[in-house]
Amino acid sequence: MNPKTLYLVLPCYNEAAVIKETAKRLQNKLSVLIQQGKVANTSKIVFVNDGSNDQTWQMIEDLHRFDEVFSGLHLPRNHGHQQALLAGLMAVKNLCDITISMDADLQDDIDAIDHMLEKYEEGNDIVYAVRNNRDTDTWFKRKSASVYYRLLKGFGGNHIIAHHADYRLMSRQALAGLSEFKEVNLFLRGMIPLLGFRHEIVYYTRGERFAGNSKYTLKKMIQFGVEGITSFSVAPLRFIFLLGLVSFIVSIGFGIFFFIHHFIGHTVSGWSSLIVSIWAIGSLQLLSLGIIGEYIAKTYLEAKGRPRYLIQEFLNDVGEERYFNKQEMGER
């Protein structure tokens, strides 16, 4: 069997502190894989610059000039991790046989690539790299992740691979399938399992960042979590319906209770119970409106038909042909 062309796709946002070391380690890994005949010598490392405001893009350009194994995709503004990753995958889907996406911070164990390629050779179009533990996370992050995955499962997200981020292998066929998904609100960890292609899992130990700080703040984690739930489940809307139904039944019960007490001469006491009731009902209404508003906002964004990302430059040498695209729009 002829070796396949592998493209490693790495979204980058303000990763100037780590990108040189990442490039060095991945270049060494790719060289070994090529020498072992596991991948073709046309394989490449693609850094996707997600509108960084540090020296990340300049460093990617330098790497590309230094060695053609390094390619660069430049997004003119920050679109977010999921959009940047999708931009990279869609840019290379017709240039390679397989892709492996991973973060640029060196926390993903690059030795897991060997096992992912083995699973691909066994006939799997998608291979998920899943953390075997979360020992490097804080207590809060471990607990919140555990609760989040239980919530996803409860809201109908049984297809989502728990403790899998975006470290995965995808074949060209799987990428072609992914390109058929047109939504703007992206949650790739939920979209890719929906493709239905044969898949397998490999486990790895996630390490510490080589340098710099995590770009995933608490605010971004919450936004990403909400995106994951609302992108693949209408369970929150059904929960509102059930909550309203229960509240209606309870209100009927209270009405009967107070009606009986009125005619037997008992006085309904206290304004405090009235205030508590008003606050409780008001809070439930605001919560319900917020959940409904989240879905309406998603519908609004989808209806606008805006591109998910814009590509300003794509540096990629293939033989003697050089791709240097300007102002390319992302597919919808």
In this prediction, residue 112 carries a pLDDT of: 94
More confident residue, 48 or 137: 48
Phi then psi dihedrals of residue 35, to 5 deg: -65, -35
Phi, psi of 261 (to 5 degrees): -65, -35
Give me the mean pLDDT over the 214-225 stretch: 59
pTM above 0.85, yes or no: no
pLDDT higher than threshold 70 for residue 213: no
Q: Would the pLDDT of 27 be above 90? A: yes
What average pLDDT is seen over the chain? 79
Write out pLDDT tens, residues 60-99: 999 999 999 999 999 999 888 889 999 999 999 999 999 9
- Please state which CATH number belongs to domain 6-138+163-215+307-329: 3.90.550.10
Confidence class of residue 330 from pLDDT cuts 50, 70 and 90? very low
8 A C-beta contact, residue 233 and residue 294? no
Statement: residue 59 has pLDDT above 70: yes
Q: What pLDDT, on the 0 to 100 scale, is given for residue 136?
A: 61
For 242-297, the pLDDT digits (tens) are: 676 676 666 666 666 666 766 666 655 655 466 557 766 776 776 777 677 777 77
Q: How far is Cα 132 from Cα 301, in angstroms, rounded to an integer?
A: 36
Residue with the two structure tokens 């890719």 = 192
The residues near 306 (Cβ < 8 Å, ≥ 6 apart) are 184
Of the two residues 2 and 320, the one the predictor is more confident about is 2
Residue with tokens 């728990």: 162
Give the model's confidence band at 322: pLDDT under 50 very low, under 70 low, under 90 confident, else very high.
Answer: very low
Q: How far apart are the C-alpha atoms of 206 and 104, rounded to whole Å?
A: 13
Q: Is the pLDDT of residue 219 over 80?
A: no
pLDDT at 329: 37
- Distance of alpha carbon 101 from alpha carbon 46, whole angstroms: 9
Task: Say how many C-beta atoms besides its own lie within 10 A of residue 187's C-beta.
Answer: 19
Query: H or E segment at 171?
Result: strand 164-171
Per-residue pLDDT tens for 159-187? 678 778 889 999 999 999 999 988 877 78
3-state secondary structure of 149: helix
pLDDT tens track for 123-148: 999 999 998 876 666 666 666 666 66
Cα separation, 47 vs 314, in Å, equals 10
Helix (H), strand (E) at residue 45: strand 44-50
**Three-class SS of residue 94?**
coil
Cβ 317 vs Cβ 68: under 8 Å:
yes
pLDDT, average across residues 209-216: 55
Q: How far is the C-alpha of 228 from the C-alpha of 154, rounded, in Å?
A: 13
Helix ranges (H only) for the chain are 19-35, 56-66, 81-92, 112-121, 139-154, 172-178, 188-191, 218-232, 235-263, 272-304
Ranges of each domain in the chain: 6-138+163-215+307-329
CA neighbor of 56 nearest in space, from 69, 75, 43: 75
